[in-house]
Structure 1
């Protein structure tokens, strides 16, 4: 499972890239979504690489993300009571296991809002948001290292 975070804003975005970002549901800076890496998603990430960072999320970060930033309709938090009322899962741990085992996280997270609104990272981005990871920036594929920056953004 891959976490995709939009790092840059909306100014001077080409129409083609804006369409790609809207298909990923990333309309604002510091918003995040979960996707499975398929060839079509990989192409979308490469097309919008100048505005995104992405990488493989681990189970602990996924649990923390759902606990702190997951929302149900009406901006309700993902408490055990709300989960049992609005979803078929009775606890957050059940939901995390189902999302982790699923091929389609959006289907498992159906009543939950698909976009997570994150804050800018605590301490700021340590590198430029205009350069790619390989050139000393934050854009592009982070791999497993994305979990450290996601924990600072949650």
Structure 2
């Protein structure tokens, strides 16, 4: 009955400009677009190598998810692949995000992964002598650093 006291004086001000009511929180608007402005300057697209590890099996999985895991080279649980951060790969990773874990790889981890699990064609183990024969790198550490920085594509 007598609860309504007429128009709120703040309503007129809110309509006229971008004012807010006293006590309301101000949330800065999110930038529109691809979000490139939010990225770290060193992390240009494709310049970071990601390690993707499969953590789940394929029981009751849709065929398109199974195919995407196969295209990524993740045929079995606990397998790891190194990929570039390109839109194509990131779309595939987003599609299978419930079955994998991923993140940027550092130079030490890349070197350790190469030393322990690195293989050449024919499943021949990778060792220091083969790296030196390639000519570009002197050790696993140099090669791991190049992979982590996205300068070398290892597949």
Cα RMSD of the aligned pairs, angstroms, is: 1.9
8 Å Cα contact 1:78/1:92 also seen in 2: no
Instruction: Identify unmatched segments of 5+ residues in structure 1.
Output: 115-154
Aligned partner of 1:14 in structure 2 is 62
- Output the TM-score relative to the length of structure 1: 0.60
Higher RCO (C-alpha 8 Å, min separation 6): 1
Partner residue of 1:97? Answer: 145
Task: Count the aligned residue pairs.
Answer: 106
Partner of 1:83: 131
Report the structure number with the largest CA radius of gyration: 2
> Secondary structure at 1:71's aligned position in 2?
coil
Instruction: Identify the residue that residue 44 of structure 1 maps to in structure 2.
Output: 92
Gaps spanning 5+ residues in structure 2: where? Answer: 1-48
Q: What TM-score do the two structures reach when normalised by structure 2?
A: 0.59
Partner residue, 1:144: none
Q: Is the 8 A contact 2:109 2:144 kept in 1?
A: no
Does residue 62 (structure 1) correspond to residue 122 (structure 2)? The answer is: no
Answering whether residue 82 of structure 2 is matched by residue 34 of structure 1, we say yes
Aligned to 2:114, what secondary structure does the other structure show?
helix
